[in-house]
Structure 1
Amino acid sequence: MELLWEVAQFPLYDVWHQNDWGYILYALAHCTLGDLLILLVAYEIVAAVRHDRVWYRHSPLAGAALFTLLGVLYTFGSEIYNVRIEQSWGYTELMPVLPVLGVGGVPFLQWLLIPPVLVWLLWLLGDMGRAPDAGH
């Protein structure tokens, strides 16, 4: 999901328009792997807070809310740092920018949608992998 999202949103960043294909592919891989790392760290933080590595089975809504919030907060900080301070990337005129916050709306949408979808998929796959209860 992260790779597909990155490919879809990549034209909204100036990296797509200002560099050669080698750099574009590097940036795409870098951003995708970075997003996966953010997901893993956020998942582990939720697991530590919930004292449960399979929190998606026992408290999917509360866990998904925290999982999503962590991704959104990281994204906000990353976009502020990389766009405004470090200027390592920028937006094209196609990127919707969140009012007041002044950061890209599409990265926020990414972190509002993907974590809950992943929790839902984990929950579904977790139920598929369980043995049926005795007596049923």
Structure 2
Amino acid sequence: MALIAFVLNFIWENLHAGLYNEYNLFMKSIYFLGCTIGDVVLTFIIYGLVAVVLKDKYWIRNFNFKILLIVLIMASLVSLTAEWVAVELDFWSYNERMPVVPFLDIGLSPFLAIIVNPILSFICARKIVFS
């Protein structure tokens, strides 16, 4: 699952790079790698939170619509928290092209990344391991 999450998040980081203020090339490559690794960690945190809620560390075997809703809730909370903290600590800043989530003042693209990519990672991992 880590490899799947890494690839998906690395692609996403590169695709939405134009929505952030510019950094020099060296810093940008460090940011992409660091952010990708951070996103993989967040994927595992989401997995763990869902495991706690469901009281089942192997919940991915039974991934269904009910579990998907729990994953969406956990991923949304983790995403909101992580992006808000990163912006407040000035880890990065958005340029004028970044759509912002109303009332939350966080970027839509990074917010969605920590919702969409973990779900895709879980679905792919389940298909690979349990098929």
Q: Which one of the candidate residues 38, 43, 46 is aligned to 2:47?
A: 43
Q: For residue 55 of structure 1, what is the amino acid of its counterpart? A: W
Q: 2:4 is matched with which residue?
A: none
Q: Which runs of 5+ in 2 are unaligned?
A: 1-7
Among 6, 13, 18, the alignment partner of 1:11 is 18
- Structure 1: runs of 5+ lacking an equivalent: 129-136
Runs of 4+, deviation exceeding 6 Å:
none
Counterpart in the other structure of 1:105: 108
In the alignment, the residues of structure 1 paired with residue 63 and residue 124 of structure 2 have an alpha-carbon distance, to the nearest angstrom, of 14
State the identity %.
25
> Match for 1:52: what amino acid?
D
Count residues with an aligned counterpart: 124
Question: After the TM superposition, which residues 118-129 of structure 1 pair with which residues of structure 2 at under 5 Å, given as runs?
Answer: 118-128=121-131
Sort the Cα spacing of 1:88 and 1:118 in 2 relative to 1 into closer, same or farther, 3 A.
closer
Return the TM-score normalized by structure 2.
Answer: 0.81
1:61 pairs with 2:70? no
**1:10 positional shift:** 1.6
Give the TM-score normalised by the residue count of structure 1.
0.78
RMSD over aligned Cα atoms: 1.9
Per the TM alignment, residue 59 of structure 1 is displaced from its structure 2 partner at its CA by: 4.2
* Contact 2:83–2:111 under 8 Å retained in 1: no
